[in-house]
Structure 1
Amino acid sequence: MAKEQLSYTVEQLVAVNPYNPDILSDLENYVNEQVSSQTYSLDANLCLLRLYQFEPERMNIQIVARILIKALMAMPAPDFSLCLFLIPEQVQLEEQFKTLIVLSHYLETARFHQFWDEAAKNRSILDVVPGFDKAVQNYAIHVLSLTYQKVPRAVLAEAINIEVPSLDKFLEYQVANSGWALERGQGGSQLIVLPRNEFNHPELKKNTADSIPLEHVTRIFPILS
């Protein structure tokens, strides 16, 4: 790249000239920076994958894998599918990409036990990106919170793949910082009471009409008349 461009941020380069192959190496470096700093930029990563479509001989397979892993970490956002759409089919057939596709399917269908089993067999692929397990645990908790008001301890433990004594410390932290509560269920089993939301407590969902300011409604009447 020209020296005068070095002062631009990657986001600016993507916005100004997203189809310029000269920024390809900058985007690759930015993927590695996202990995090391545990940050994320979908737009920059999609831009790089598009450039690889125009410059297939320059495709860096390990960079592509890191992009997909970061996209998995962004669930429930559909980033993984958006990225996969830009990756050639013959590349998707490589073993590490087939593994990532299987993992994404398990997450999308909330089959967390199968996900963690498969992930355990492929740590060499996943451990390249710090924070992966934590991101998936947050996603699993998000899914549970859409379904449960109270989740059995065993269900939570399986979904987030944490066992005693780490699970006890995790629950203590969530109770202190995230509004969780613990109670005893039938037979003395432990239940985790998750924070109320419009999905696990539908009565909390706002009526759309209730959210329209009165002045907006009054403006409609002359139009209708």
Structure 2
Amino acid sequence: MPVQVQTKQEFVIHPAAALGYVHLTTADLDRQITFYQSVLGFKLHWKKDATAGLGAGRDDLLRLTELRGAGRVRGTTGLYHFAVLVPTRWELAHLLRRVVDTHAHIQGMVNHYTHLAIYIPDAEGNGIELAWDFPREQWPEAAELVRLGNGPLDPEELLGELERDLSPWTGANPDTRIGHVHLHVADLDAAGRFYQDVLGFQATFLYSHRAERLEGCGGTGAPA
């Protein structure tokens, strides 16, 4: 459950700082490009040698570099998932439709009460969260989030957005962006100190259940 954290620190990252692109190593560049184009509606911005940039027509959201023989190693620190944040509920509904139509695997669908989330793996098992934020004024207070936990996402209700607006979907909306990157860590306290003391991030919430899950998946003291 989330617990609000307030700390004082000497260096704080600029409030306008935002995430850029996610960069992944892949064993099969063309296969991954096809996945992100067919399922997420990404555009291929450029491709040179063993690297490609994809996104929604503006800045790259994803870069892929091919390393033959590369593969995910279970039980280690590293990427848990990255969130692809779409600007409207209608866009999220279309992504769900694309996931279903392309027979992509759905790992979970959750109402986090701050946002709706659909969890899928890409063609090589990297975790992706497809997300849409509720308007900020609708977000519950921290104490209410603790009480609510996570709720179900009704796929039929979400897909109803497509019946209310019959406009054609032409791929990823240009306002799509990377919402967050979620990491497996071996030591939550040490990781927190690094991101606060070195990068200037501020702690906002500590999700105790998520920390336990990280220890269960990555393992306390898991290899890097």
Q: TM-score range by the shorter chain?
A: under 0.3
- Using CA pairs under 8 Å that are at least 6 residues apart, name the structure with larger relative contact order, 1 or 2: 2
Tell which structure's C-alpha radius of gyration is larger: 1
Give TM-score, length-normalised by structure 1: 0.20
Query: Larger % of strand: which?
Result: 2
